[in-house]
Amino acid sequence: MNGGSIAVDFRNPAVVRRAGLDALKKELGTVGAAYFLRQFGTGYGDYTCDRDQVFEDITLDELIKEVKELDASFNS
């Protein structure tokens, strides 16, 4: 690695995880690193099933129209 960084054995997930956490804490501080990591939760439920139910009664043309209308309202 360059820039004065230490070499990391990228074949070892535990070592990579530790190096990543150390880098986050160095750049963001402990609290900032925690906030950053909270963004990547695994979630819950079945997205595909939920998506199919939400969009069950809407056509692609209707969806595109709604998105364009929403975009226009934000840009005016």
Q: What is the pLDDT of residues 16-71, one digit of tens each?
A: 999 999 999 999 999 999 999 999 877 788 989 998 998 899 999 999 999 999 99
H/E stretch holding 28: helix 13-38
In a domain, 8, yes or no: no
- The rounded distance, in Å, linking the Cα atoms of 28 and 8 is 20
The domain containing residue 40 runs over which residues? 13-74
The whole-number pLDDT of residue 62 equals 94
Token pair, residue 43, equals: 């979630």
pLDDT at 76: 78
Start-to-end C-alpha separation, the chain: 48
* 7 inside domain: no
Please check whether residue 1 lies inside any domain of the structure. no
How many domains would you assign to the chain?
1
Provide the whole-model pTM.
Answer: 0.46
